Amino acid sequence: MSLLELEQVEVGWPGQGAVLSGLTLALGQGARVGVVGPNGAGKTSLFHTIAGILAPQQGQVRLRGQPVRQGQFMPAVALVFQQADDQLFCPTLIEDVSFGARNLGLPAPEIAARVAEALHACGLNGLEDRPITQLSGGEKRRACIAGALVMQPDLMLLDEPSAALDLRSRRRLIRLLAGMEHAMLIASHDLELLLDLCPRVIVLDAGRICADGPAHEVLGDAALMDAHGQEVPHSLTPHNPARHQHRPQAKV
């Protein structure tokens, strides 16, 4: 049985065209799948549908074989927002990270254990009492992930996780995600990040899946990428060795 299944899913707004149309896909336990496409392709709507925020007008979303219902509380699915400030709302880091576990009604010792584990995994030890407003962009991003981890989800939905991060914070994020065993859907314009993390990539455009396959094959297909407003990642672009040489540094 697949962890996640979407079968001919259509999502839209009353009086308007479909945002998502005819989406069918399956995701296994522990799988990592990148989702790419232009702005407005439907990536965030896809995540909101899987998380039960939006209800399909047609088709069905199933998690471990059970239908996902709109508004249903699903700790098995963790959605990490594109903008960290849209997700973090408590005064301090530890209050925010522990919020989900507290709302599960867990005993205090288990909450403390989950929070400590999540903070350690995300490299946030020692910042427990730091006001959210005083965290850096990279720390906020990791705080969002820590808040998701305390729920012990089966599936993580990450919407543009590397957006606005500097190079050091980006590499730290990639190492963090690479070390996790959770199934992940990662929507990103950072195609090199997806190559690092995702063996499989889906191209979404105009609410439809236009390609689904091995990351290097999909992202390396120049015609496909161009047709959907994307570019082949630099690491997959052929280079002329004669024109791609670095000059030796001058001796000091």
Provide the pLDDT for residue 51.
Answer: 95
The yes-or-no verdict on residue 38 having pLDDT over 50 is yes
What is the strand order of the sheet 58-63 is part of?
A: 18-27, 4-12, 58-63, 66-67
User: Phi/psi zone of residue 207: left (φ > 0), alpha (ψ -120 to 50 degrees), beta?
Assistant: left
Provide the pLDDT for residue 72.
Answer: 86
pTM summary value: 0.91
The yes-or-no verdict on residue 246 having pLDDT over 70 is no
Tally the residues of the chain. 252
Query: For the purposes of burial, counting CB atoms within 10 Å of the CB of 29, is it exposed (0-12), middle (13-18) or buried (19 or more)?
Result: middle
For the segment 170-181, the average pLDDT, to the nearest whole number, is 94
Q: Residue 217, SS3?
A: helix
Domain locations along the chain? 1-71+160-167+182-245, 77-152
Provide the pLDDT for residue 40.
Answer: 92
* List of E strands, the chain: 4-12, 18-27, 32-36, 58-63, 66-67, 77-80, 155-159, 183-187, 200-205, 208-214
Q: 1-71+160-167+182-245 architecture in CATH?
A: 3-Layer(aba) Sandwich (3.40)
The yes-or-no verdict on residue 252 having pLDDT over 50 is no
Candidates 191, 200, 201; CA nearest to 237 is 191
| Residue 66 DSSP symbol | E
Could you tell me the maximum CA-CA distance found in the chain, to the nearest angstrom? 70
Provide the pLDDT for residue 238.
Answer: 80
**In the numeric block, which tokens belong to residue 226?**
């161009």
For the segment 147-174, the average pLDDT, to the nearest whole number, is 94
Pairing of strands 200-205, 32-36: parallel
> Would you say 155 and 62 are in contact if contact means Cβ atoms under 8 Å apart?
no
Provide the pLDDT for residue 164.
Answer: 85
Higher-pLDDT residue of 246, 229: 229
60-94 confidence digits (pLDDT tens) = 999 999 999 998 889 999 999 989 999 999 999 99
Provide the pLDDT for residue 86.
Answer: 92
The yes-or-no verdict on residue 112 having pLDDT over 60 is yes
For the segment 181-194, the average pLDDT, to the nearest whole number, is 97
Name the band, by pLDDT with cuts 50, 70 and 90, for residue 249.
low
The yes-or-no verdict on residue 230 having pLDDT over 90 is yes
Provide the pLDDT for residue 241.
Answer: 64
Residue with structure tokens 């254990």? 113
Provide the pLDDT for residue 240.
Answer: 66
> Would you say 41 and 14 are in contact if contact means Cβ atoms under 8 Å apart?
no
CA torsion sign for 164, 131, 185, 32 is positive
For the segment 99-120, the average pLDDT, to the nearest whole number, is 93
Task: Calculate the average pLDDT of the chain.
Answer: 92
Pairing of strands 58-63, 66-67: antiparallel
Residue with structure tokens 């400030």? 85
Provide the pLDDT for residue 211.
Answer: 98
88-103 confidence digits (pLDDT tens) = 999 999 999 999 999 8
